[in-house]
Amino acid sequence: MPVTLKPILPKKFKATPEELTKAIEETIDEADKQFARTYRTFEHKPTFEKEMKVSDKEIEGSVLTSGDGSRDNPYPFVAKGTRVRYARMSPDFVSKTQPGLISSRRGRGGAIRVDRNKPLPGIEDRRWEEDIARIQKKRLNTRLNKALGRYVKKSGHAI
């Protein structure tokens, strides 16, 4: 007696990646808030730009600061560190930030003068980008897993 097998094919995937885009947007917003904590007490605040690119093949998001370091924009110097420091700081100087801490506090003192003839040891890298990326990677994975579950359920392919 012949046996006939008929495959049960799933419906065509109909869902759109809105759930995934939303998860990435939430992560970018949270990272932006974490970066804001790093310059909260700065007199000259940096400008951060959030960007999202969505295409058929990928969703890409970023939070980036713009501009080069200067007297009016010290953030890149503090965030990335420097090999040498030309600024002479006042004797009571206390930095507003510390390496490994995603926050800023009230500092004290400041630059007295800039002396390019006698460089001092540089500014230590604060590692904010790496630390925030490490934290957000875990949170993004959680958000994406939940979003993928909703995405699959919405498409009719959930088990």
Lowest mean pLDDT among 6-15, 38-47, 96-105, 144-153: 6-15
pLDDT of residue 37 exceeding 60, the answer is: yes
* Amino acid residing at 94: V
* Tokens matching residue 81: 């560190």
Phi-psi region of 30 (alpha: psi -120 to 50; beta: other; left: phi over 0): alpha
Rounded to a whole number, what is the largest CA-CA distance in the chain? 97
CB count, 10 Å around CB of 30? 17
What's the pTM? 0.81
What share of the chain has pLDDT > 90, as a percent? 56
Q: What pLDDT score does 68 carry?
A: 83
pLDDT digits (tens, 9 = 90+) for 49-74: 999 998 878 888 898 887 788 878 88
Q: How far apart are CA 103 and CA 96, in angstroms?
A: 9
What share of the chain has pLDDT > 70, as a percent? 95
- Average pLDDT in the 30-36 region? 95
